[in-house]
Amino acid sequence: MLLSGKGRHRRRRINQTRIAIVTAVSAGAGVALPLVGAGQASAASVETWDRVAACESTNNWQINTGNGFYGGLQFTQSTWEEFGGLEYAPRADLATKEQQITIAEKVLAVQGPGAWPVCSVEAGLTAGGPAPVFGTEESSDAAEEAAPAPQPEETTDSGRASREETRTEAAAAPETSAPAGSAGSYEVVSGDTLSLIAEGNGVAGGWKALYEANRDVVGSDPNLIYPGQQLTLGGSAAQEDVAEEQPAAHTVQRGETLASIAEDHGVDGGWAALYAANQDVLGGDPAAISVGQELSLDTSGVTADQLSAARAALEAAQADSADRSSRDESREEVAQTAAETSTPAASAESPAAESSASYVRPVEGYTLSAYYGQAGGWSSGYHTGQDFAVPTGTPVQAVASGTVVSAAYDGAYGNQVVIDHGDGTFSQYAHLSSLAVSAGQQVGAGDQIGLSGSTGNSTGPHLHFEIRTSPNYGSDVDPVAWLAGHGVTI
């Protein structure tokens, strides 16, 4: 169990799905419910999961657009953690397809197909299908078969927009809820969760206090609430006890999000209020938080206008992320075209032409994560390199020949290597688990210089790669464009 910056253990989370994801069950509405009791397994074939992924993410199992949903099946970070995903990877988009399906099976067993409210219907996902079998010819072909799955009277883009709107509405507080901080009662409606009700009505102590005040109504499982139930919103001693035990601040740990922090501590107003109270620390993107940041948990001074501004900031960050992804795709297409049309070897007319072996990728078997120039909570205000998500221990190689000018631990970068390529450019390789070179050593393109890891200020195993015009921080240039200029595409 992780320790907070105040030396306290974080309180134990409910060993079920996170409240913010389980919606109120509508009796008789034809919604597939989690099965209770023995007798029928909750499972789905790989082909079925491929159809869900085709609907959710166009079968991109490593997708991360910055909207708070990750991987082919669009897990939230809290769901990924709650169902054991950290056993495989820090986030769903960094895990393999098989690992994501394994976690999805656990979600399906608890929540039922309603965890994917739109795509379960389109894909025909049910709770009683055959268990997935990996490594077969059938499963490897499933993605291709699932890709052209028909979309009901809407384009792929409009369908995705509709699903994003559905998620956004599920994450936002009900507009018709009582004024923040008010006492009284609340009648559960379809789509509600204790977390949403607590946030929308300013319940002191969050969903945990709301549950304690209504345990006799809700029962033993806070994940299951039903339309028509009458909940008490305030005036409970249980609520006051939960509110009083909240610490004054929280230090961001690996894998956390504003939503998970707000839920863990029962922050009044949820993630939006937490962001509004700490915007001077977090900057302009609510989705970009960094390990070690100290956040105030006191949201008593947050206004309704600030809550609206927080949600608007998240929407703007998501739009920027989508636009950046489009630019990245265009850049990759240009780089690919340049590589295909370039002359692969030196000719008599161009004796100085470089061979394809003169420049290489820094790692293989990677998934691209944080991009160069991405806005966020970095000290420069943007990401100064390109991140390659790879397992710890992946060989890291010099992208070109040169002289090692630094090979040591360097604060936030952890174990890093910096190489002078003799042409006014320097390459940097950070967060390594081990170093294989030393300062002053000559290396060639493709020579192993260390192993990837997660040392320094890192939220998971990856390689942070930079191209600079000096050996020092702050002289960065676009590393992807630099590699493409030398015939290397990523």
Q: For the chain, how many structural domains are there in total?
A: 2
CA 477 and chain centroid, separation: 26
Q: Read off the amino acid at residue 443.
A: V
Question: How does residue 464 score in pLDDT terms, banded at 50, 70 and 90?
Answer: very high
Going across the sheet that includes 448-451, the strands are 395-397, 448-451, 434-435
Indicate whether 36 belongs to any domain.
Answer: yes
| Domain-terminating residue out of 171, 201, 228 | 171
Whole-number pLDDT of residue 145: 44
Residue 14 lies in a domain: no
Among 7-21, 258-272, 453-467, the least confident range: 7-21
> Is residue 465 in a domain?
yes
d(CA 136, CA 127) in angstroms, rounded, equals 22
Would 297 be classed as within a structural domain?
Answer: no
Number of H helices, E strands in the chain: 15, 15
Comparing CA positions, the residue from 220, 211, 206, 195 lying closest to residue 78 is: 195
pLDDT beyond 50 at 389: yes
The span from the CA of 58 to the CA of 159, in Å, is 11
Average pLDDT over the chain, rounded to whole? 74
What average pLDDT does the segment 138-162 reach?
A: 43
pLDDT confidence of 97, banded at 50, 70, 90? very high
Q: Is the pLDDT of residue 344 over 60?
A: no
> Could you give the dihedral angle defined by the CA atoms of residues 324, 325, 327 and 329, in that order, rounded to the nearest 10 degrees?
170
pTM: 0.34
The four Cα atoms 315, 317, 323, 326 give a dihedral, to 10 degrees, of: -110
Cα gap 452→416, rounded to integer Å: 10
Report the CATH number that the domain containing residue 133 is assigned in CATH. Answer: 1.10.530.10
Return d(Cα 450, Cα 434) in angstroms, integer: 5
Is residue 116 a part of any domain in this protein?
yes
Q: How far apart are CA 14 and CA 12, in angstroms?
A: 7
> Whose structure tokens read 């919606």?
23
> Residue 289: which pLDDT band, with cuts at 50, 70 and 90?
confident
Task: Give me the long-range contacts of 186-191 (CB less than 8 A, separation at least 24).
Answer: 186/230, 186/231, 186/233, 187/228, 187/229, 187/230, 187/231, 188/24, 188/225, 188/226, 188/227, 188/228, 188/229, 188/230, 188/231, 189/24, 189/227, 190/23, 190/24, 190/26, 190/29, 190/227, 191/23, 191/24
Containing H/E element for 432?
A: strand 426-432
What DSSP string describes 61-100? TT---SSS-BTTTTB-HHHHHHTTGGGT-SSGGGS-HHHH
pLDDT band with cut points at 50, 70 and 90 for residue 364: very high
Residue 304 has which token pair?
């309704």
Query: Is 117 contained in some domain?
Result: yes
Of 171, 189, 224, the residue at which a domain comes to its end is: 171
pLDDT top residue among 191 and 23: 191
Task: Report if residue 196 sits inside a domain.
Answer: no
DSSP labels, 250-300: EE--TT--HHHHHHHHT-TTHHHHHHHHTHHHHTT-TT---TT-EEE---T
Domain housing 445: 354-485
First to last CA, the chain: 37
CA pair distance 401, 444, nearest whole angstrom = 4
The pLDDT of residue 108: 86
- Report yes or no: 107 and 92 within 8 Å, Cβ to Cβ: no
Report pLDDT for 242. Answer: 47
Which residue's entry shows tokens 């509709």?
A: 162
Look up residue 5 and give its amino acid. Answer: G
* 463-468 vs 386-389, strand pairing mode: antiparallel
Q: Which of 171, 190, 208 is the last residue of a domain?
A: 171
257 assigned to some structural domain: no
Q: Which of 65, 130, 135 is nearest to 97 (CA)?
A: 135
